[in-house]
Structure 1
Amino acid sequence: MKIVRVEAIPFGIPYAKPLKFASGEVHTADHVLVRVHTDDGLTGTAEAPPRPYTYGETQESVVAVIDRIFAPQILGLSPLEREQVHARLERTVGNPAAKAAVDMALWDLLGQSAGLPVNGLLGGYTDRMRVSHMVGFAPAEQMVAEAERIRDTYGITTFKVKVGRRPYGDDVAACRALRAALGPEAELYIDGNRGWTASDSARALREMADLGLTFAEELCPADDVLGRRWLVSQSPVPFIADESATRAGEVTRELLGGSATAISIKTARTGFTASQRVLHECEGLGVEVVMGNQIDGQIGTLCSVAFGAAHRSSAGHAGELSNFLDMTDDLLAEPLTITDGTLRVREGAGLGIEIDPDKLARYRQDR
């Protein structure tokens, strides 16, 4: 089985409601569908969601690096030669979402060729995950209304609250309103997307000390090295490194340097191969992990739940698996469904991704 063709297809699907946060806002899912074809007729599929305000990638750059650099380097290789594929991809600096999509498409091919689900090949711990929903910037009453709707409709009781506005009083008020409306049984954690200073963060955490927050994530920039270490050393809740820990070396730096005490794993930026390395590193150090969300569509969400449910440590916390609910449509022939606050892994060989050709024709942006 040899790789004979790699496709990078740009597509765009509007969001019904944009997600707003400290580092930007998203109105349209300008993503890239990645397909890797083999000489025996199999096709591995994944999705690359570019995030220029976080990693510098754009839809155009993802298509270009796959078409012009990655594809020529991996044609003729077998999907089994993942280490050789990664060695060639790593010759190019950065481009995490593009690399991750190629990696996940290869895993999809391996599952299909073996007649086994990728979730099982990765570990097969369980077939579902509890779901966490991200709540973006809005007036407090609107954030509460969204959380209540998501809880009542989908049974989700874990919420990641976007904070990082300056001054921070609106964020504290929103978190208090959410706790009051959702009650003590709801799980809340906050994500600042680097929007606060270390001193802002410390004051805000003190003001929210009675809210029972599960985690705090990326409240201030990783480049504020001393300030962040100072903040984490006094944080009353575990501090998650997310965009500051995009590969195993950065995870080591953040944890051993005292800048984080937990890690967010996003298959959209580390695929399955590098995500396992990060996961095993965290397991060896006794550090908790959460499955994060890069504002993925349903294809990316399907990849996240396949990985997260495959391992005991990544299935321990609710995964961020619901933001596709804010999109007006998607490319999957059979849409994902969240029931009783959980999302199931797709059955069947590979990742179980089947693209609706009519939807792809409608939303692709290269024709």
Structure 2
Amino acid sequence: MKITRIEAIPFAIPYRKPLRFASGEVHVAEHVLVRVHTDDGLVGVAEAPPRPFTYGETQESIVAAIDKLFAPEVVGMSALEREAIHARLHRTVGNPTAKAALDMALWDVIGKSLGLPVTELLGGYTDRMRVSHMVGFAAPEQMVAEAERIRAEYGITTFKVKVGRKPYTVDVEACRALRAGLGDDVELYVDGNRGWTASESARALREMSDLGLTLAEELCPADDVLGRRWLVQHSEIPFVADESVTCPGEVTRELLAGAATAISIKTARTGFTTSQRVLFQCEGLGVEVVMGNQIDGQIGTMCSVAFGAAYQLTSQRPGELSNFLDMSDDLLAEPVRISDGTVQVRAQPGIGIDIDPGKLAHYRQDG
């Protein structure tokens, strides 16, 4: 099962509405489709969603890294040589989503070669994931209306609220409106994308202490070392590290420094192989995890579902699996469906996804 060719295909699909959060704003999903071809005719597929304001990658840099750095190192190797491939990729620093997409496409190939879903290869704990929906920046009444629609249409009852604007007015008001509008039978947690200071975060959490928030994610920058440690020590709810934990070493640093008490795992930045390493770190330390979202399309969503459903710890909490609903279209031949607040693992070999060739031809950016 030799790797014969690796493709990095840029594509662009508009969002129905801009996605706004403290670290940036996105109008178009400018992602990269990664395909790994083998000598026995198998093709593994994954998606790399660049986030320049978070990881420094762009669509162009991902294509260049795969074409010029990674493909020459990997072509000719067996898809089963996962650890050797992992070591070769990590000779190059950075480029997390480029590495992650290539890793997941390799797992897709392996699953297809064995006739087994990737979820079973990874762990096979369950066949579905509960879904959490991200509510982005808008006027409070609009945020409530969106959450009510999502609950009614998809059965989702967990909502991640984007904060990081004006902590004592706009953000607190939005969270209060959501609790009042949705009632006490939904779960709410907040994500600041590093938009507040430590002192602003502490005050905002105090002002929202009666709202029953379950998690607080990246409220202030990890580089504010002492301030963040002080904040986490005074937080009554788990503090989730996300952008600050892009590799196992950073996970260790944040946890042992007391700068986080929970970890967000995103397959879009750590693939399946490194996500396993992060998960087992957290499991060994007794740390809670949440399956995060890199504003993935449907391809990335199914990768997150495949990994999250494979393990008990990752499937305990709803995963952030619904951002694709904001995209005007996607590349999958069979769209992802959310039913009763869950997404099911697909029973097909590999990740269980097929690309619609007509859609790819329409949205690809390389001619």
Q: Shorter chain as normaliser: what TM range?
A: over 0.9
Partner SS for 2:33: strand
Query: Displacement of 1:4 after TM fit?
Result: 0.5
What is the aligned partner in structure 2 of residue 71 from structure 1?
A: 71
Alignment of structure 1 residues 266-277 onto 2, 5 Å: 266-277=266-277
Equivalent AA in structure 2 for residue 11 of structure 1: F
Q: Runs of 5+ in structure 2 lacking a partner?
A: none
Q: Which residue of 2 aligns with 1:97?
A: 97
Alignment of structure 1 residues 55-134 onto 2, 5 Å:
55-134=55-134
Residue 19 of structure 1: how far off its partner (Å):
1.1
Paired amino acid for 2:225: V
Deviation of 1:347 (Å): 1.2
CA–CA separation in structure 1 for the residues paired with 2:18 and 2:147: 15
Counterpart Cα distance in 2 of 1:168 and 1:279: 35
Hey, what's the Cα distance between the residues in 2 that align with 1:139 and 1:166?
A: 13
Q: Which residue of 2 aligns with 1:243?
A: 243
Displacement after TM superposition at 1:18 (Å): 1.5
Structure 1 SS opposite 2:313:
coil
**1:141 and 2:141 correspond:** yes
CA shift digits 1:15-46 (9 cap, x unpaired): 00111000001110000000000001000000
1:166 offset after TM fit, Å?
Answer: 2.8
> What's the TM-score once normalised by structure 1's chain length?
0.99
2:186 aligned with 1:186, yes or no? yes
Give the Å deviation of 1:169: 1.4
**Mapped pair 1:310 → 2:310:** yes
2:337 match: 337
Query: Which residue pairs with 1:54 in the alignment?
Result: 54
In 1, the alpha carbon distance for the partners of 2:192 and 2:366 equals 35
Q: Distance in 1 between matches of 2:312 and 2:247?
A: 20
Work out the CA distance in 2 between the residues paired with 1:130 and 1:180: 23
- Equivalent position amino acid for 2:233 in 1: S
Residue 35 of structure 1: aligned partner? 35
Write the distance in 2 (CA, Å) between the matches of 1:247 and 1:266.
10
Counterpart-to-counterpart distance in 2, 1:26 and 1:151: 24
Partner of 2:323: 323
- Structure 1 counterpart of 2:297: 297
Contact 2:298 2:330 in 1 (8 A): yes
What letter matches 2:280 in structure 1?
Answer: H
Give the secondary-structure state (helix, strand or coil) at the position aligned to 2:53: coil
Look up the equivalent residue of 1:289 and give its one-letter code.
Answer: V
Amino acid at match of 2:307: F
Q: Which amino acid aligns with 2:13?
A: I
SS at match of 1:313: helix
**Paired AA for residue 276 in structure 1:** Q
Partner of 1:21: 21
Aligned AA (1:128): R
Could you give the per-residue CA deviations for residues 58-115 of structure 1, whole angstroms, max 9, x where no partner exists? 0000000000010000011111101111111111110000000000000000000001
- Partner-residue secondary structure (3-state), 1:61: helix
Inter-partner Cα distance in structure 2 for 1:227 and 1:188: 25
Q: Give the deviation of 1:131 after TM superposition.
A: 0.2
Structure 2 CA distance for aligned equivalents of residues 245 and 150 of structure 1: 29
Q: CA deviation at 1:185?
A: 0.8
Pair 1:221 & 2:216 matched: no
Equivalent position of 1:152 in the other structure = 152
1:346 to partner: Cα distance: 1.1
CA distance in 2, matches of 1:176, 1:168: 11
The whole-number CA distance in structure 2 between the counterparts of 1:287 and 1:185 is 25
How far 1:168 moved relative to its partner? 3.8
Q: C-alpha offsets along residues 275-332 of structure 1, whole Å, 9 cap, x if unaligned?
A: 0000000000000000000000000000000000000000000000001001000000
State the alpha-carbon separation in 2 of the partners of residues 228 and 47 from structure 1.
Answer: 33
The answer as to 2:207 corresponding to 1:211 is no
Task: Report the Cα distance in structure 2 between the residues aligned to 1:161 and 1:19, rounded to whole angstroms.
Answer: 13
Deviation at 1:218, TM superposition (A): 0.1
Amino acid at match of 2:48: A
Question: Which residue of structure 1 aligns with residue 253 of structure 2?
Answer: 253
Percent identity of equivalent pairs:
78
RMSD: 0.5
Question: For 1:4 and 1:158, how far apart are their aligned partners in 2?
Answer: 43
Inter-partner Cα distance in structure 1 for 2:294 and 2:346:
20
Letter in 1 for 2:29: A
* Contact 2:267–2:304 (8 Å) recurs in 1: yes
When the two structures are aligned, how many residues end up with a matched partner?
367
Shift of 1:167: 4.8
Counterpart residue identity of residue 88, structure 2: R
Partners in 1 of 2:345 and 2:15 — Cα distance? 24
One-letter identity of the residue aligned with 2:56: G
Query: Amino acid of the residue matched to residue 58 of structure 1?
Result: T
Please list every run of 5 or more consecutive structure 1 residues that lacks an aligned counterpart in the other structure. none
Residues 167 and 201, structure 2, Cα contact 8 Å, conserved in 1 = no
CA distance in 1 between partners of 2:111 and 2:134 (Å):
31
